[in-house]
Every structure is written in C-alpha cells, then in structure tokens.
Amino acid sequence: MSSRHAARHARVRMMAAVATVCTLSAAPLAPRAVAADTPPYSETYRPQFHFTPEKNWMNDPNGLVYYQGEYHLFYQYNPNGNSWGDMSWGHAVSTDLVHWEQLPLALSHDDQEMVFSGSAVIDRDNSTGFGTKANPAMVAVYTSYRKDTGVQAQSLAYSTDRGRTWTKYQGNPVLDIGSKDFRDPKVQWYAPTRSWLMTVSMSAEHKVRFYSSKNLKDWNLQSEFGPSGATGGVWECPDLFPLAVDGDKKKIKWVLVVNINPGGIAGGSAAQYFVGDFDGTKFTAEDKGTYTPPAGTVVQDFEGTDFGSWTTTGTAFGQAPAAGAVDGQGTVGGFDGTGLANSFHSGDGTTGTLTSPSFTVDSKYLNFKVGGGRHPHVDGTATEQEPPPAGTVLGDFEGGTYGGWTATGDAFGTAPATGTLPDQQKVSGFLGSGLVNSYANGDSGTGTLTSPEFTLDMDYVDFLVGGGDHPAGSDHPTAVELLVDGKVVRSTTGQDDEALDWASWDVKDLAGKQAQVKIVDDNSGGWGHLNVDHVVLSDTRARPVSQETAVNLIVDGKVVRSATGSNSETLDWASFDLRPYAGEQARIQLVDLNTGGWGHVLADRFTTADTPAKSVVQRADWADYGKDYYAAVSWEDAPGGKRYMIGWMNNWDYGGTIPTSPWRGAQSIPRTMGLRTVDGRVRLISQPVNSVRSLWQPHPVSASGVTVEDTSTPLIGPAAQGTTLDIEATFSLQDADRFGLKVRTGADGEETVIGYDTTAQELYVDRTHSGAVDFDSTFPGVQTAPLRAENGKVKLRILVDRSSVEVFGGSGEVAITDQIFPDPASQGVRVFAENGAVRLDEAVVRHLGSAHE
C-alpha cells in the first residue's frame, strides 16, 4: 500500500479536511451567492428540519444522552472554520428530537489536544465524585487526540449544570494504550454488574474492545470483537445496545453498530451492524453461515495455460494467467481453482488491459471475482495524456518568466521551473520546457501566483496540475483556484503525485465575468507544493488520464458497468446487471492504468447467471444503504426505554467539498430503532421519530387508485410540490420493471429518483441528475438496498429536505439517506413506471414546516 493510501486509511479522522477525494472537475464551492445579510437558516441548501450548526464544520454526533427533559446532541465541531479542524464538541438540546437549540461550545480543543468523538452518561450514583447524588454529574467520555504524538486515548470531562459548562478531569487520560487508532468510546451503565461498560474502536485492526469500570476512571479490558463483516476501511464510532425482537420483551438481542470508512455499502462511509448476544463481558454475533454464489455458465476461469481468445495490451497482465501471487506481491487469496488474471507483473509500475472477445448479451447478470486496487473508472478520462485543447492560453510558462502573473512568497521562485527541482521526485506530464513548480524551497516554501484578469468567454478553463492534495478551504491548501469578484468559485488540487494531469472547470454559468486564476501554496508539510502548466481558456473540456484499476463492461465503445477491488489482495464477488443491454454486443475489459500504490487489478471466474452474486460488503448488515449516514450512534436513557439513533448526514469521500456555506455538515433525522424478523433473520429496522409530525402543515394532499404505465407524470399536481415534504406511498406490483417517485424535479431534467426494481427486488435512489453533483466524482450515482415486496406491495416513506432525501422501505427494513443539492426552483414530485405498469394504491404528501421557526 502506498503511503498516501495508508495515511488515508489510518488518519481519516485527523486528516479528513485534506483526505477527501479531489475531483479533477470541481464545482463551485458555493454555487449560488448568498447575500451577506441573509438571515441564518434561510441560505440555499440549508436543511429546515435536520440539525445544522448556524455556521462552521460539523461531523460525528457525540455524547447522546437524555437528562431532565432534554435530549443532548453534542457533535464534532470546528469553532474556527467551515472545514475539518480544531475538533471540539458543539452542543445542542431538544425536547422532541426535532426542534433544536444550539448552545455554546461544550468541550474545546486546546494547544495539547483535539476533542474527538465519544459519549456522555449521567453518573447518578456519583461513582466519579464529580457531583453528588442529589445533583449527579453529566460525564463526557471522549477521545483526546494528542497533537504532539498523534496518540489517541480516552479522557473525561464533567458538568454539574445540565451540560452548560464543563471541566476536563485533571487525571486525564483515563485509558491510554499508546495507540494512534483507539477511539470513539460509547459508555453506558450495565445494570447486571452494576458497572460502566465502554465499547471502543481499535479502528485500524477492525476490532471493537469492551472495557468495564466501577468509577469511569479505572478501566479493565473484558474482550474484543472482530474482524468480521465489512473491513474495507477503518472501524469507528461503535455502539452497543439491547432491543426486543418483534416487540417481545422476553426475547432480547444486542446490536453492535460499527461505522466503517471507506468500504461502505454505497462507497465511502457507512454504518454497519451486527446482531448477537452480550453476556456482560463478550459480544457474540449470530452465525450467518457460509455463502454459495448463484450457479451459472462460466465464461472465463483463467484455468488454461494462456488467456485463450482474450487479448492483452501492455505488460501488466503478463502472457498467461497467474497461479496466485507474482514476484514482489503479497499473498493473493479468494480466487477459484489454480489461475487468475493478475496485473501485478513487474509490480505496480506497469500498465495494460485484458479484453474478452465481443459477445451477445443474453443473460441477466455477469458475476465475477475481483481484487486489487480501489481506483474506479471515471467517465470522461483518457487512456493516455492528450494534446492541449485549442483556445486562449492564459499561461504556458515558457520563455523563462511568469509573464503577467504575479508571485508572492518564496514557493514559486522568480521564474518558472524547467522540470524537477533539487530533492524533488521526478516531475512529468508538463508541456514544453517550463512549468509552475512551488517546490522552489522544498515543501517549506509558501506563496501564491496569480494571473492577470481575463474574461470568461469560453466554456472551460483547462490546465495541467500535480503536487499536493490539500483542498481550498482547508487550513493549509495547495490548490489552483478560480476567482470571480475576489471569491473562490472553483478549486482543484493535485493528488499527491508529481505527475501533472489535465483538470477542467466548466465555467459556462460564469460567461462574461472577469476572473483570475490563483495558484496557492500555503502548506509547508508533506506534499506541500503544486505543479501547474498550460492554463488555457477553451470550448473543449480536457480529459485527464485514467488512473483506474477496474473490471469494465463495454457496450458500443462505452464503459457501462465497472467494479474495482478494495485495496486488498483477496478477491471477492461482484456482479454486473446486464438486463439493460440484452441483445447488444459487449466486451469485458480488465484495465490497469495506475502506477501508484495498489496500482493493479485481480479477477477470476466470470460467470453468467440469472441472479447477482453478492460481495462480503453486500452480505454485511447496514443501518442505512445510502451515501450519507455515518458515525451513527444512539441516545442513552431515553424515556420509555426507547432507542433513538442519529447519524452524520455526509460522507468522507466528499464531506469537505459539499457546496454549503457558512455551515458544512448536517445530522440525519433521529430514528426510532427496533429489531424485526425478516425472511428468517433478525434485522435492525428504523423509522423517523414520531415528533416529525409536529412539523406537518395543514391540508395534506393525496392520490389513490392510480395506474401508471410506461410514463412519468406529476403526482397530484402543484399542491404536492415543495422542498420540505413527508411522503408516504404504497404501490401494488403489476408488470413494470421499475417504478416509484421522482422528487425535487425541475428544469433541464433535474430530479432525484426514488424507485423500486422488481427484478432485482431492490429499492434505489438515483441522484445522478439531482442538481449540483460535479464537486466530486464519487457523488453522483445510484444507491440500492435489498427490499422484498410484502403481499405484492411496496411501501415507501420519504423525507425530503432542502438538501437531502431519506427513504424508508417497507416497515423500516431498509433506509437510504442521500444528500442532494438541487436548484431551489426544482420542487416537482412525479410518479413513474418503466417497461410496464404499476398501481399506486395511495400516496399522501405532507408539507413540513421549518424546525427553526
């Protein structure tokens, strides 16, 4: 694993602001200008019934506890900016989990530590001595991150005034094992042993530890759980709680929630869970048995002495199937038989392709095993660097001067570089003999380089960029910025690589405006520099070189399906849905265009079948199948023994680049959790808290008994339109392949599709055309969740806010939470059916008022 990917996996929480995946075609940081006097909570995209701080960055919910009529929501918060940093605990309280009052900062970072995630309890017996039995202390148990060493340990703070003011314990830390990946303690009172129970993550080891204490200060290790289930990323923010199965209080099971990043079901961050038993010392997950993939027809199993009719380019795949690992490679596992395709020949530095003959698609699914690097295919990329687009050159940095560009600081020197600078790794990919290279004084140099003003009279600004991956808006960026009226409206970074590659900004919406390009190096740490060349204003979008390590399905010359490994030498099942391409000619292509860490792909056992194979990740259990539900934890001491859970409504893949200001980050709607037997297995179910109904406005609108066939039509009419809606709908299956509702529909095909696929038996949300999606390549796409119809019917509950949808399927068996950033004018709601008919038994649309009023 390269140091960059190792750092991303091991330091996601600390480095989130600079570890987001940087797109080569960044969208505006704030697509629509917000007037300086815009009242708080009325800004574009501002959620109206999900908690957001008035300003600044927020991520994980922390310290969830109910006390004296108040639900406390603490949260990871940067008091000093709209990007991750200076982690502290923000604070809000609510009496109903819907209307929130933001309170002053609770636990602040200081010169020695940042205050990472944790939990809070009420010390009713005064076991700590921090309060009295008459006035028990609220005690926060948090991870203190030592700035000087990077060590993560568990510490205490306490409050005796209902969480309004806090004192850090002088004996901190109370649990320190010297680890840099030991975090997010969830503490609760365990009555059978009259002791405190801590559930805490050994994040890099994919383990959860359980500790016991009588006084919250002295902790004894009880047991460990894991690795198990999905392990493609770090394990974080664990939670453990009991629930009755099917409402039977005599049948109790325990739920262990383990949030994972990356490697979630929809990519990036997600909330995984296990159902099992807890005996006060040890958690034992239910045995789910072994997995048998669907039977089918083997197309290619790589068991021969050569690739047969499959053809290769380059050298990465060698001349024949590999018999496991090749020279210099770690142990390869998970393949079938004795052979597989392996592009690690001569190491990660080689590239190439392996392509099947053309075939006619006559099966529903193509199942196969894949491993190796997690470098997805990105549409609009090229297989090699292309010539510069035609247009107006704003800077080619030839001739030994910066021309009219203005430099500040010492990073850029007095003139363009002519290639690699002293002590720098080899720089490549620039044009001609000159380029901008801010390594003039090593990574310690800082400064800016700004172009003369120019008119945006073409569709794109294209440029070559390499160097550090430190986004604009982070504490110390290395970024190329587009300024309009002095404000940053576009931004792109390097990818921690000295090779320059094309990046492109779509500036059609800024036509006619005056602009400047500003190259910013404000970073003196690792990869604290940028390489830039050939800035051109053009009507052609430049195509970057693909960095993929992928298995692709190609139809009509286009990649229509793609899968990657998970930065692992162990192969796992993947599946392509072939149904849309029935009767068409297709090819399978294994592609390795990556020369960095994990720059290889493994594949085996291509099999056509009637049902899809499922990967370990797909076979794991998930509290939510969307892109934007992470760090999910639950409240302690809720009235009536209820279990309410909330998650950060964002994803580390793009969390630092979502287009919101002056705040960034929202929490999901709190959910009532339960356990239900579904298809013979006990599953975690969720529904929005009932108090959402307090926001229902008068005069709901409804429709019933409507048959929809091969069309999309407005649901009910203008009365159903809106930006904040609570929709309940029940459909009866007929013969449609897909059906459902489209929300936030508007001009130019803008829509968020919430549908059901009858063949795959899946609920899905498609946000590909949901509004602003191009601020990160991982944002657009389709999220799916397994959902069987009950008695031929599919029930949906949909909460629509100004920048999100939360979809609950059936009786809460599955949920899909996705952020969306539509035009405020996109308010339509439509019902649709594809390739057949469906009956809409009933739909009720309720408008929701603002929780801020």
Q: Using H for helix, E for strand and C for coil, what is the string for 597-637? A: CCCCEEEEEEEEECCCCCCHHHHCEECCCCCCCEEEEECEC
| Count of CB atoms situated within 10 Å of the CB of 640 | 4
d(CA 332, CA 600): 12
What pLDDT is recorded for position 622?
Answer: 98
**Average pLDDT of the segment spanning 358-383:** 94
- pLDDT of 28 above 80: no
Question: Cα dihedral sign for 168, 174, 179, 184?
Answer: negative
* Tens digits of residue pLDDT in 674-707: 999 998 999 999 999 999 999 999 999 999 999 9
Structure tokens at 377: 């295919």
pLDDT score, position 471: 86
Pairing of the two strands 391-395 and 585-592: unpaired
Q: What's the CA gap between 321 and 342, in Å, rounded? A: 7
On the 0-12 / 13-18 / 19+ scale of CB atoms within 10 A, 511 is: exposed
Q: CA-CA distance, 183 to 185, in Å (whole number)? A: 6
pLDDT at 542 over 90: yes
What was the pLDDT predicted at 596? Answer: 85
Question: Rounded CA gap, 27 and 25, in Å?
Answer: 7
CA-to-CA separations, 602 to 57, 327, 343, in angstroms, rounded? 39, 15, 7
Q: What percentage of the chain has pLDDT greater than the value 90?
A: 89
pLDDT band at 37 (very low <50, low <70, confident <90, very high): low
Q: Identify the helix (H) or strand (E) that includes residue 310.
A: none
How confident is the model over 109-147, as pLDDT tens digits? Answer: 999 999 999 999 999 999 999 999 999 999 999 999 999
β-strand pairing of 530-538 with 436-437: antiparallel
pTM of the model: 0.86
DSSP string, 819-853: E----TT--EEEEEEEEEEEEEEEEEEEEB--TT-
> Sign of the C-alpha dihedral, residues 167, 258, 773, 739?
negative
Quote the tokens at residue 208.
């959860």
Relative to beta strand 56-67, strand 663-664 is parallel
- List all residues 6 or more positions away from 179 whose beta carbon is below 8 Å from its beta carbon: 151, 152, 202
Whole-number pLDDT of residue 439: 96
DSSP letters of 327-339?
Answer: TT----BS--SS-
Q: How far apart are CA 627 and CA 773, in angstroms?
A: 13
Residues 352-356: what's their mean pLDDT? 97
57-to-14, 145, 547 alpha-carbon distances in Å: 14, 18, 31
C-alpha torsion 518→524→526→531, nearest 10: 30
Average pLDDT, the chain: 93
Phi, psi for residue 579 in degrees, rounded to 5: -55, -40
Q: What is the Cα–Cα distance from 137 to 742, expressed in whole angstroms?
A: 49
**Mean of the pLDDT values across residues 42-53?**
97
As a whole-number percent, the residues of the chain with pLDDT over 70 amount to 96
- pLDDT band, very low/low/confident/very high, at 38 (cuts 50, 70, 90): confident
| Integer Cα distance of 258 and 240 in angstroms | 9
Indicate whether 40 pLDDT > 70.
yes
Question: Residues 770-823: pLDDT tens digits?
Answer: 999 988 888 999 999 999 999 999 999 999 999 999 999 999 999 999 999 999
In the block, residue with structure tokens 């991982």? 778
pLDDT over 80 (residue 25): no
CA dihedral 830, 834, 837, 842 (to 10 degrees): -30
Cβ-based neighbours of 532, under 8 Å, separated by 6 or more: 397, 435, 436, 463, 464, 465, 466, 467, 480, 500, 519
CA atoms within 13 A on the CB side of 711: 8
pLDDT digits (tens, 9 = 90+) for 519-538: 999 999 999 999 999 999 99
* Residue 530, CA distances (Å) to 102, 465, 519, 622 in order: 40, 7, 8, 40
Q: How far apart are CA 340 and CA 768, in angstroms?
A: 34
CA-based R_g, the chain, Å:
27
d(CA 764, CA 842): 20
d(CA 188, CA 198): 7
User: Do 371 and 571 touch, CB atoms closer than 8 A?
Assistant: yes
Contact predicate 245/640, CB 8 Å = no
pLDDT given for residue 582 in this prediction = 96
Q: Check the CA dihedral 105-107-111-117 and report its sign.
A: negative
For the cut 60, the answer to whether the pLDDT of residue 31 exceeds it is: no
DSSP symbol at 6: H
Least confident of 22-31, 296-305, 317-326, 751-760: 22-31
- Count of alpha carbons within 13 Å of 466, Cβ hemisphere only? 23
Nearest CA to 434 among 421, 449, 447? 421
Spatial separation of the C-alpha atoms in residues 428 and 388, rounded to whole Å: 15
Q: Judge contact between 124 and 137, C-beta under 8 A.
A: no
Catalytic residues: 60
pLDDT band at 709 (very low <50, low <70, confident <90, very high): very high
pLDDT surpasses 50 at 12:
no
CA distances to 23, 479, 542, 815 from 465, rounded to whole Å, are 12, 9, 12, 39
What pLDDT shows up at residue 460? 96
| 590-610 average pLDDT score | 96
The mean pLDDT of 386-393, rounded to a whole number, is 94
Average pLDDT over residues 496-510: 92
The answer to whether the CB of 253 falls within 8 A of the CB of 277 is yes
Residue 148 has pLDDT above 60, yes or no: yes
Q: What is the pLDDT of residues 263-273, one digit of tens each?
A: 999 989 999 99
Sheet holding 663-664, edge to edge: 100-107, 88-94, 70-77, 56-67, 663-664
Cβ atoms of residues 451 and 541 within 8 Å: no
**Nearest in space to 713 (alpha carbons), one of 830, 827, 826:** 830
Q: Give the model confidence (pLDDT) of 438-494 as tens digits.
A: 999 899 999 999 999 999 999 999 999 999 999 887 778 999 999 999 999 999 999
**Distances from the Cα of 435 to the Cα of 220, 393, 412, 438, 505, angstroms:** 58, 14, 10, 10, 20
Task: Copy the structure tokens of residue 324.
Answer: 């496991």
> How many C-alpha atoms does 589 have within 13 Å on its Cβ side?
21
Nearest-10 Cα torsion for 98, 104, 106, 111 = 140
Q: What is the DSSP string of 209-249?
A: EEEEESSSSS-EEEEEE-S-S--SSEEEEEEEEEEEETTEE
Residues linked to residue 460 through DSSP beta bridges, in sequence order: 506, 538
- Please measure the distance between the N-terminal and C-terminal CA atoms of the chain and give it in whole angstroms: 51
| Distances, alpha carbon 33 to alpha carbons 27, 119, 776, in Å | 14, 37, 20
Retrieve residue 402's tokens. Answer: 């910066």
Cα–Cα dist 202/184, whole Å: 9
Round to whole Å and give the CA distance between 318 and 349. Answer: 13
| Cα(591)–Cα(377) distance, integer angstroms | 9
Evaluate if residue 27 carries a pLDDT over 60. Answer: no
What gap in Å lies between CA 745 and CA 764, rounded to an integer?
A: 17
Separation CA 234–CA 201 (nearest Å)? 9
Is residue 523 within 8 Å of residue 493, measured between CB atoms?
A: no
Judge contact between 601 and 549, C-beta under 8 A.
yes
